[in-house]
Amino acid sequence: MGFVEPENVEDVGAGLTAQGYFASEGLATAMFLAMSLRRPLFLEGEPGVGKTELAKSLATWTGGQLIRLQCYEGLDAAQAVYEWDYTRQLLHLRTAEASGRASSTAEGELEDELYDERFLVKRPLLQAVSEGHDVPPVLLIDEVDRADDEFEAFLLEVLSDYAVTVPEIGRFSADVPPRVIITSNRTRDVHDALKRRCLYHWVNHPDFELEVTIVASRTTGACETLVRQVAAAAEEFRSVGLYKPPGVAESIDWADALARLGATELTADTIQATLGAVLKYREDQERVTDNDMAALIQRVMARAG
């Protein structure tokens, strides 16, 4: 078939890079294995390290449709798998009644009509395994730890067989299995049964050079000096034990904010003015501003080179 099928790890790295996603070698290897073994990829890591972004880049690279399921507490089968279109079903019954068919048709037959595929509302999980996809769709199950554990049971069949059973109709099974990416912020442990079906990767903050590359490619108008300094400062912030150390997403926002203000390098004033883009807790901001700012800038300069 005519869709992207990487032959080795480098293919994956290059394919994602072309979409502006710079994956570490470990992540590229895990992604490659997930694609060639047709297994879901389970990503855990700090917020803002690019877990969700990977799915988006994968979709644009492979040309597969991105189907996203954002998890939240109380998420149930009706929103995740499928739901019957009850309003239309009721209308159908009324029509049958008005035309006098309701009394002449056997109850079983009328029921069969109701549970027909045209009354079925497909939600993300069913969409991913049913529609006539030419290219494997990318199914992103985002922040699965936010859903309650009952929900994980719905995922098991989908993830091991790439199939969904609708009791009234039968089994939907994917011709081309979707590429599944599951993300979690680890607010609770996901059930082992779910993890066992997946390949696992813990996403770390990128190292300095990788972060420079990422920030440079995602911001417009920030000069290289500034980008290197932002990456160095972000690395510094991550090492001093803040409540919420900045992720790459924050570094990008910060570089953008600095560039908008026309800054070409970090100074005490520009940091003060834009700190809100990178540190989101008052205590964190105080820890940075109350400490020796000059020393901080000096360390950042030295690291940025």
Partner 1 sequence: MTSVDTAPTTSIERIAVAFVAALRQVGIDVPVGSALRYHEALSTIGVNSRTSVYWAGRATLVHDPEAIGIYDYVFAAFWEAKAVVLDTIGVIDEQEVMLAVEDEDADDDAEELGEETDLPVITLRYSRHELLGGKDFSDYDDAELDEAQRLMQRMAVVGGRRPSRRRVPTRHTGGRPDLARTVRRALRSGGEPIERRFTTHGDRLRRVVFLLDVSGSMETYARALARFVQAAVAGRRRVEVFTLGTRLTRVTRELSGRNPDRALTQATDAVQDWSGGTRLGESLRVFNDEWGQRGMARGATVVLLSDGWDRGAPEVMAEQMGRLHRIAHKVIWVNPLKASPGYEPLAQGMAAALPYVDRFIEGHCLDSLEVLAELLAEKGAPA
DSSP 144: G
Provide the token pair at 177.
Answer: 């299995």
**Under rule CB under 8 A, residue 107 binds partner 1:** yes
**Under rule CB under 8 A, residue 32 binds partner 1:** yes
Query: Would you call 237 exposed, middle or buried from its count of C-beta atoms within 10 A (0-12, 13-18, 19+)?
Result: buried
Look-up of token digits 């004033």: 269
Applying the rule CB under 8 A, the residues between 144 and 173 that interact with partner 1 are 145-146, 148-150
Q: How far apart are CA 23 and CA 203, in angstroms?
A: 10
Provide the token pair at 218.
Answer: 């995602």
Name the minimum Å distance from CB 256 to partner 1.
Answer: 26
Contacting partner 1 (CB under 8 A), which of 44, 211, 235, 284?
A: 44
- Look at residue 69 and give its three-state secondary structure: strand
Name the minimum Å distance from CB 278 to partner 1.
Answer: 17
Q: How far apart are CA 159 and CA 142, in angstroms?
A: 14
Name the minimum Å distance from CB 20 to partner 1.
Answer: 23
Name the minimum Å distance from CB 29 to partner 1.
Answer: 4
- Nearest CA-CA partner of 19 in 82, 79, 66: 66
> Which residues are 181's β-sheet partners?
41, 140
Residue type at 153 in one-letter notation:
A
Contacting partner 1 (CB under 8 A), which of 117, 224, 283, 286?
A: 283
Applying the rule CB under 8 A, the residues between 162 and 221 that interact with partner 1 are 185-188, 192, 195-197, 199-202
Helix, strand, coil % over all residues of the chain, rounded to 5: 55, 15, 30
| Residue closer to partner 1 (CB basis): 264 or 289 | 289
Look-up of token digits 């924050």: 250
Contacting partner 1 (CB under 8 A), which of 11, 17, 19, 29?
A: 29
Name the minimum Å distance from CB 257 to partner 1.
Answer: 24
Contact criterion met (CB below 8 Å) for 5 and 163: no
| Residue closer to partner 1 (CB basis): 97 or 134 | 97
Give the footprint of partner 1 on this chain (CB under 8 A).
Answer: 8-9, 25-26, 29-30, 32-34, 36-37, 39, 44, 47, 72-74, 76, 78, 83-84, 86-87, 89-90, 93-94, 96-97, 102-103, 107, 110-111, 114, 145-146, 148-150, 185-188, 192, 195-197, 199-202, 241, 243-244, 283
